[in-house]
Structures are given as structure tokens and as C-alpha cells.
Amino acid sequence: MNRIFISFAFFIVAFLIIQFHQFLNISLPDWILFYGKDFICLPIVLTVCLLAMQFLKKDHSIRLDLFTVLSMAAFYAFYFELYLPKVKVRYTADFTDVVMYFLGALLFYFLQEKPEQKTIS
């Protein structure tokens, strides 16, 4: 099994654990509550995007390039940390969230296995 999909399952479980703890008002360390979901957000979203691309193109060797991954992190940072705090009181801008988006995106990028190179003999 591919390491990106094992990581995806781990991130989904981590997200569900954080949500479950919040739902039951069980305390977790502040850094997990404030930054955990921001860190695992993009690996989850990018894995779904990767799966969709592979399914639509019927090519499992497709990988997301660094520009695409960082563009998605920039979009999330802009939308959730610049735009939404100006239009919704519920959201607050936090630079550490931006760092978490980019770290999660880079983690996803490096977890992708490079497609096998075909050799001609």
C-alpha cells in the first residue's frame, strides 16, 4: 500500500479524534486544538485531489507537483487567514495557521512516491 494513503488514513483518524474530543469537551493541549486541524487539512484535501485526478485520467502514476501543492496552501492561507476574518466574526487571522498549512502541504508533497521510471532493455 502506498505511503500517501496510509498517511491519509492516519490524518483522517487524527482529525476524527480531535473532533471527538472537542465534541465531548475533553481537553487536549492547546497546540493540538489550535493548529492540529490546520496541519492535517491540506494532506487530506490534496490526497482527495490526487485520487480524483488519478481516477479521472485513469493513470495512477500521476503526482501533484510542488507548484500545485504550494498554490493550494497559498489559497487556503489567503481564504482562511486573510479573507474570512474580514467578513466573518467567527474567524481570526493567525500567522501560525499559515505556517501549518504550508507544512502540511509540504508533508503531503514529500509523502508522494515518485512514479517508477520505465527502463528499456
pLDDT digits (tens, 9 = 90+) for 17-44: 988 988 888 888 888 888 999 999 999 9
**Residue 83 belongs to some domain of the structure:** yes
**Residue 120 belongs to some domain of the structure:** no
State the CB neighbour count (10 A cutoff) for residue 57. Answer: 10
What is the rounded (10 degree) CA torsion for 87, 43, 65, 110?
140
State the CB neighbour count (10 A cutoff) for residue 78. Answer: 13
- Residues of the chain whose pLDDT is less than 70? 1, 115-121
SS3 63: coil
**Residue 34 belongs to some domain of the structure:** yes
CA distance 36 to 41: 8
**Residue 72 belongs to some domain of the structure:** yes
In contact, 90 and 82? CB cutoff 8 Å: no
Q: Which domain holds residue 74?
A: 3-111
**Residue 118 belongs to some domain of the structure:** no
State how many domains the chain has: 1
Q: How confident is the model at residue 23, as a pLDDT? A: 87
Q: How confident is the model at residue 34, as a pLDDT? A: 84
Nearest CA to 105 out of 36, 43, 37 is that of 43
Instruction: Give, in order, the Cα–Cα distances in Å from 6 to each of 10, 74, 86, 119.
Output: 6, 25, 37, 28
**Residue 84 belongs to some domain of the structure:** yes
Q: How confident is the model at residue 1, as a pLDDT? A: 47
